[in-house]
């Protein structure tokens, strides 16, 4: 169960982080570092020159970082680190997670109705980055323009080429469900997980076999389009949003007054006598949530959470409204993410770890065989 920080060099004590240590990683604050002279950086407690710039993150022993931040940092070093401190990811050592896992295991065995609420973090091991955090899309997008200048032109060209490849986006058709997706499906089959609410559009819950009538995809599904007249859903083996979004020159293009993108796909409903236009199901910023398709939207999700004893929150920063209010309706909340969330202090349990690590520990404690 190797963590992202294991065997990485701590940028304060200059020794390796091992599996028995609490560790953390944060983006390199390259914008402000690039403006500083080497003589200034050499006086810093944090040894930024030891960073692996290919990852654009720095790793620390948690105790090293917080024994120095903020009081032992110079004013210049403090200003540098504050650029990225909100994107800290913390990873607890396995031994410190075990007591919580034991209590959570008992909770699952003793409760009658459970829901899971998932965010981008559950899909990381499939190849999809998160939006926030040390290596999140939003974090990287901001920091790509803040890279430390280098005299090595070949390295800079390689970085630019990698950026171009990233711009092509993720090929969702090639993605496979993670261990966490498969574990949730198995828990559903064992009546340990009754309903799934997700903010993700990748269809990995569906691909893992989680029943679609027990699945609420709040923000859409890249493989699903629906009729705007009769609401019939069409599940495709290709990404329907390729035919919508920014297809400005297509005859079916209509700019959405709310998100300013296009939702039409150019296809029509095949239900007899309907022939309504088909739309993608992606909920962009400023769009309303669906209230009929993909599980019934927020109202249905709220109903399910109110019925639930446990809401298991996996890989979500719990920042996107109104979805981030859903866990509060359940009796108990288990939050699993290496990022800090506004819900941490209210949650029954908060585990700073990856989703896959959580399920390996939980299934072991519950004497369940991990799915292949």
Q: Residues with catalytic annotation?
A: 219
Q: In angstroms, rounded to a whole number, what is the distance separating the alpha carbons of residues 260 and 255? A: 5
Ramachandran region, residue 155 (left: φ > 0; alpha: ψ -120 to 50; beta: rest): alpha
Measured CA to CA, the distance from residue 5 to residue 55 in angstroms comes to 12
Return d(Cα 357, Cα 336) in angstroms, integer.
10
Q: Do the bridges between strand 57-61 and strand 23-27 make them parallel or antiparallel, or are there none, so unpaired?
A: antiparallel
Token couple for 223: 């493989």
Q: What is the rounded CA–CA span in Å between residue 78 and residue 75? A: 5
Q: How far apart are CA 351 and CA 344, in angstroms?
A: 9
Tokens of 330: 């359940």
């Amino acid at each position: 169960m190797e963590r992202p920080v294991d065997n990485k060099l701590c940028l304060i004590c200059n020794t390796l982080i091992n599996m028995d240590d609490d560790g953390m990683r944060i983006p390199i604050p390259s914008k402000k570092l690039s403006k500083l002279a080497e003589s200034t950086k050499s006086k810093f407690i944090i040894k930024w020159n030891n960073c692996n710039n290919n990852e654009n993150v720095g790793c620390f022993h948690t105790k090293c970082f917080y024994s120095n931040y903020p009081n032992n940092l110079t004013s210049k070093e403090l200003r540098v680190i504050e650029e990225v401190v909100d994107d800290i990811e913390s990873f607890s050592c396995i031994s410190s997670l075990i007591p919580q896992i034991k209590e959570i295991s008992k909770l699952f065995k003793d409760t009658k109705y459970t829901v899971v609420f998932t965010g981008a973090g559950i899909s990381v091991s499939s190849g999809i980055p998160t939006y926030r955090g040390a290596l999140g899309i939003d974090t990287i997008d901001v920091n790509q323009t803040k890279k430390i200048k280098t005299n090595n032109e070949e390295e800079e060209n390689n970085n630019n080429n990698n950026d171009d490849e990233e711009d092509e986006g993720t090929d969702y058709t090639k993605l496979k469900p993670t261990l966490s997706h498969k574990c949730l499906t198995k828990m559903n089959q064992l009546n340990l997980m009754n309903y799934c609410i997700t903010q993700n559009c990748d269809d990995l819950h569906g691909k893992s076999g989680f029943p679609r009538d027990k699945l609420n995809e709040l923000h859409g599904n890249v493989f699903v389009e629906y009729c705007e007249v009769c609401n019939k859903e069409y599940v495709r083996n290709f990404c329907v949003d390729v035919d919508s979004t920014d297809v400005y020159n297509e005859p079916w293009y209509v700019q959405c007054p709310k998100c300013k993108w296009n939702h039409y796909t150019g296809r029509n409903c095949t239900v007899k006598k309907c022939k309504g236009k088909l739309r993608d199901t992606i909920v962009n910023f400023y769009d309303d949530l669906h209230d009929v398709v993909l599980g019934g939207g927020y109202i249905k999700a709220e109903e399910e959470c109110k019925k639930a004893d446990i809401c298991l929150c996996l890989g979500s920063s719990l920042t996107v409204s109104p979805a981030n209010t859903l866990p509060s309706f359940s009796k108990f909340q288990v939050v699993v993410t290496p990022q800090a969330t506004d819900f941490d202090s209210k949650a029954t349990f908060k585990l700073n770890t990856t989703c896959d690590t959580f399920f390996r520990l939980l299934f072991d404690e519950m004497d369940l065989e991990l799915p292949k």
